[in-house]
Chains A and B, each alone.
Chain A
Amino acid sequence: MPIAELLSAVRSLLLPADDVKAVVEADVTTVDATNTNSNDEPRIVAVISHRDASKISLEGSLFIFRRSSTHQAGLEIQKVVPIYKNASFNLAQSRRDTIDLSRPSEAALSPARTGFDLTISPGPQLPEVILRVSDVRTLRIFMAECKSLENFAPPRSGNGFPWILPYTLGKNSQPIISSTPPDLRVVNEPLFTLLSEASAGMPGDDAADILLVQSQWLRARAREMCGRGTYPLRIRIGTFNVNGKAPTEEIATWIRGTSSEGTADRASYPLPPVDRISPISLEDVARDVFSINSSLSSTSTVSGLATTTDRAFAENVTPDMLVLGFQELDLSTEALIYSTGSAKEDAWCSAVFEVLGPQAILYEKLASKQLVGMLIIIIVKKALRSAFSDIRVCAAGAGIMGVMGNKGGTAIRLKFTPPALAPTDADGRTAPSDEAKPHARHASVLTFVNAHLAAFDEMVERRNADFHDLSRRLGFATDPRLNTGITGGSNGANGANSGITPMISVYESDALFWMVHLNYRLDLPDADVRTILRTWPPESRCSTLLKYDQLRNAMQSHRAFGSFAEAEISHVPTYRFSSGLTTDELGYDMKRRPAWTDRILHLSAGVKVHQLAYAGHPEVTLSDHRPVSAVFEAEVPIFEQREHDAALRHLLRQVADLPADEDTRPTLVVDTSLVDFGVVRYIHCASQVVSVRNSGKVPCAFRFVPLDLGGSISPQWLQVTPLAGFLLPGETAPITFTLIINNKTAAQLNPVRKTLNTALVLHTALGKDHFISIAADYQPTCFANTLSLLTRLPGPIRLLKSEDDLLPENRAHNAPQEVMRLVQALMGVVDIAPILETWPDTSLVNTIQACLDSGDEFPFSHEPGDTQIARAFWDALLLLLGSLKEPIVPYRLQHQCILMTSRDEAFELLGELMPAAINVWISVTAFLQFLCGSSTSPEKMARRISTIYAPVLLPDDPTPNANPISPLAKADFLLYFIAG
């Protein structure tokens, strides 16, 4: 490319205050400790200068670009190297020993091999960059520009060069202007956690914070300005460890889905889930309110699956894409040593089309990638074929010696350009120009990974490490022609995080899906897993076991798959089945602990992803695993790339100049300085909105700061969202304050009425701190207290004026009056079965709770037959017991409980409890025993009720690394009291 063209291409990527001084095309070697990349394609290297309006200074940096066929300018920033004071530049003839003498002389003299080296040392102790160029003339100009910038350069110190941040933002040097989507792990990180450390009276690095907040705003705003709705892309994903078996037509349901998919398990138990209104789910309600409001918080749980599932399948929509991940396709030893060709793949592919039946004609295979036993296939609707482009594949081994492909992953990355006539174009706009230039439309990047990693139960740490290793090594070549793709072992040449990376990471996507067989297991004794699966009520079977799922726990603790989402699992474990004598009643192999080894996870940012179904397929019995399927709808944004880039440039001009003096300081006006929530009570969740307006002449970034460094922004009972934002002059933004009184916060605020008061500090970057006062009148609740406090209440908790009015220990009640009132109210129940099948009614439960707090009579003329009301009392009792600050059975005693072998032993152990706890235990279990006894099948009912009450009376110790106690053993302990 001629120099002039390169210059203008580079210039088109720069912000207004920056300019390009010189540019060369060169082989680049960065002497970072890890990596030399001289064999790669040549890079474009430019000298960029920045003029700072306030400082009247000039700073310079080297920008290294890689070519990118997909971006408008054809270039993509890879690395930015600031030029500091005392940078040095040395020009020399290339050393001869790099010439390959064994080759014919023409080759040895080829331009890439001979020429001149410009060795740049950007500053003291910084790694050198060597540019090798054949044309010494351009290199001389280039060097002269570098040298002249060095004259102005600042010395190397903590905070220079804030202006390069927009180009390199993010931990992985993610440029703001890029055709490659930003790393999903970085963009899903809440913005707030990336800002500098600051507190009231101690601003952090305001300049850097502005750039961070601004860059996120730019991305969102540019999309908003040119958005034309979304295209709903329906994706069906399947994962199947086939154990070397050949396909049969059994796979039809896995491929096509069933009408009850995702609800299949639910269909077998038409009962409402008990934990719908458990103490845990009430906590979640409060948390959800926050995460829904908070655009900055990372996405985590997938909720509402059940309701959407039904809709999705009622519509009977066929998927646009079918993505299938297979593991252990080929178990033969030969397969490990040399490629066995595509016979297995062909067999599975034709089986898939066969079971698609009459619909097969609608589909075609788009891409596939196999590495020994791992295969990923993408099948798409023919009608959409032209919407898919830039398909890349890769694979990375992680098995024996890190390179053999018996373990590892294969992946496919592709672009999807929504077709011109988008069904969701709500207002029926079908811009005709679109069809004239179909390639002008923005394409979103979707990546699919099929991974299979280390086995063996104990090796959970190893699995986590394998995940990170695979994450790093799975990468796509930047040049699709080099698309061969197998990455070597961990000490291979392609360190994806080294100075200049030639790889596109799987995370550089708008949406990413992992089909995994990672061998994550359940941390529970084998026998307990089987018993729970066999005997526990269906509604709590999976949810109980999943608490001990290694993958779930690794995700929660961010040890692996940290920011990924996985839908609720309501299907039974998919591993390991066998036939013959060595199986249990459910068909699970006696030698392997049943587990959910086959999973489908996703992570997205640029494309919103909704999961519509997640199901296991027990009817497919050909392998020792059962296949798993998931259905997603991806909302692929529709916008014209050119409009988007123009919008971005327009916005960049608006934010380009930072304030220089007092008159142009960023100023915010907050519309109210006092937010009063009035009276607030237990299970309360209220929001109030304050608006902030940029009343100044320049753009303004704001953020909340804690009172003390490292402290929290707000007390636990208050959530603020957003925690940071960006406003153009004249613009207004809402800030939502959400007050949450749940178990956790009520426990801190009880037991007397008090005025909640706090002031938050809203910091204007480079400007003032604003104070926003929050006030509320908290009324205490009998929920979320200690048992001993409840027994010392002289009357209803609402009437308690001060803690001094509590009864002395020796005059305390035998048991909390509130628990007794609830047990009393439930005494009239004759048959518990219909009550368990009634849907919970939250408002009735709230009424009951309010009466317990105030001491008022329950406002129901208590007809024993009213199951709805009985259910509410039942739930209220569970909630009250579950909300106690200290469990009825202390954690340390629980280990003894599970050792009890007889009813007498169990009763004896009760003596260890606090007197009030003994009384509660006796009255509650006696009541439960009565209920079970009067049920039509007492034994079954006792088992069922034990699974409901055990987690409440003997809750899990929440301290990290606490020795887990099997839920089965706890339920068995409770059974001594309520059975028979």
Chain B
Amino acid sequence: MSKQFQFKLVLLGESAVGKSSLVLRFVKDQFDDYRESTIGAAFLTQTVTLEDQTTVKFEIWDTAGQERYKSLAPMYYRNANCAVVVYDITQSTSLEKARTWIRELQRQADPSIVIALCGNKSDLSARRQVSEEEAKKYAEEEGLMWAETSAKSGEGVTEIFTAIAKKLPLTAAPSSRAGAAGRPGAAKSGVDLNKQAAGAGPNEPCNC
């Protein structure tokens, strides 16, 4: 019998790096040249099936990258099982921003969160400002997954989500995992778990 898992995934990263585009590619296999900057947080779902017929359902929260909304991001990553931190390979500042996000996640998010660093717009490698080596080295130091993607061509997109899916069930017992990801409409169970988690972390810094 095939197993089913459900996880909450959040996308973080500077504005215009292509978070919404990645989600659109992953969920609908589409691409828009003119996307409006996200002002809010959108919730989408997509399922991936692994070789052993295990299915993993992602509940994806695509958040706003604009600086102005930075204070709201914790609300969306606080009970996430995994985070995809995106930078734009043609903008070295966007990697700096990604590092800040990762530091914040390591400090404030659930300690078991799986973090993937994703260098987007690989189709524009002619204008590359961030080398593969640099990003990869950083990812290894921090113990993160890493890949380059192109939401435009589709290259690497499914792969990175599948890789995350494979990594996830291994890091925790499936039953608790499935429960921790709150369905919309059944978020209350998720809420309680979150409260427990927040209260149980003695090493956690005060996040006020």
Contact = CB atoms under 8 A, between A and B. Distances in A.
A837 B186 CA distance: 63
B167 interface: no
A203 B40 CA distance: 14
B75 A205 contact: no
Interface string B187-199: 1101100100000
A345 interface: no
Interface in B170-200: 182, 184-188, 190-191, 194
A355 interface: no
B72 A709 contact: no
B24 to A, nearest CB: 11
Interface stretch (A372-380, A589-597, A768-776, A922-930): A768-776
B135 to A, nearest CB: 28
B185 A206 contact: yes
A197 B185 CA distance: 11
Interface stretch (B63-71, B88-96, B117-125, B144-152): B63-71
A768 B40 CA distance: 7
Contacts of A709: 191
A158 B186 contact: yes
A708 interface: yes
Given A197-B191, A200-B41, A770-B40, A761 B185 contact: no
Contacts of B78: 201
A205 B191 contact: no
Nearest to A761: B72
B46 to A, nearest CB: 10
A200 B185 contact: no
A764 to B, nearest CB: 9
B61 interface: yes
B42 to A, nearest CB: 4
A205 B182 CA distance: 11
Nearest to B61: A201
B184 A759 contact: no
A204 interface: yes
Nearest to B41: A769
B42 A768 contact: yes
Interface residues of A, number: 29
Given A202-B79, A203-B185, A773 B68 contact: yes
A311 to B, nearest CB: 49
A708 B68 CA distance: 19
Interface in B10-28: 27-28
Given A159-B186, A759-B72, A202 B191 contact: yes
Interface in B48-97: 61, 64, 68-69, 71-72, 75-79
B163 interface: no
B43 interface: yes
What is the predominant secondary structure among interface residues of chain A facing chain B?
loop
Interface residues of B, number: 28
B58 to A, nearest CB: 14
Contacts of A761: 40-41, 72, 75
A946 B82 CA distance: 67
A730 to B, nearest CB: 20
Given A768-B41, A769-B40, A771-B64, A202 B69 contact: no
A199 interface: yes
B72 A200 contact: yes
A707 B185 contact: no
Contacts of B190: 202
Interface in B28-48: 28, 39-44
Interface in A746-766: 759, 761-762, 766
Contact of A759 (B43, B69, B79, B194): B69
A203 B45 CA distance: 15
Contacts of B182: 202
Contacts of B61: 201
B75 A200 contact: yes
Contacts of B71: 759
A207 interface: yes
A201 B75 contact: yes
Given A198-B187, A201-B61, A202-B190, A708 B75 contact: yes
Nearest to B78: A201
A688 to B, nearest CB: 17
Contact of B184 (A200, A766, A770, A773): A766
B194 to A, nearest CB: 8
A729 to B, nearest CB: 19
A934 interface: no
A207 B187 contact: no
A673 interface: yes
Interface string A177-207: 0000000000000000000011111111111
Contacts of B42: 767-769
A159 B185 contact: yes
Contact of A707 (B40, B64, B75, B187): B75
Contacts of B184: 203, 206, 766
B41 A203 contact: no
**Which of B42, B44, B77, B194 has the most A CB atoms < 10 Å from its CB?**
B42
A709 B191 CA distance: 8
A199 B78 CA distance: 12
Given A158-B186, A206-B184, A199 B39 contact: no
A199 B64 CA distance: 17
A201 B41 contact: yes
Given A768-B40, A771-B64, A204 B72 contact: no
Given A202-B79, A707-B72, A770 B39 contact: yes
Contacts of B39: 670, 673, 770-771
Nearest to A708: B75
A768 B43 contact: yes
A708 B69 CA distance: 15
Interface of A: 158-159, 197-207, 662, 670, 673, 707-709, 759, 761-762, 766-771, 773
Given A201-B76, A206-B185, 18 more contacts: A199-B75, A201-B78, A201-B79, A202-B194, A203-B43, A203-B184, A206-B184, A662-B28, A670-B39, A673-B39, A759-B69, A761-B40, A767-B43, A768-B42, A768-B43, A769-B43, A771-B40, A773-B68
11 contacts: A200-B72, A202-B75, A202-B194, A203-B184, A204-B187, A707-B72, A707-B75, A768-B42, A769-B42, A771-B39, A773-B69
Interface of B: 27-28, 39-44, 61, 64, 68-69, 71-72, 75-79, 182, 184-188, 190-191, 194
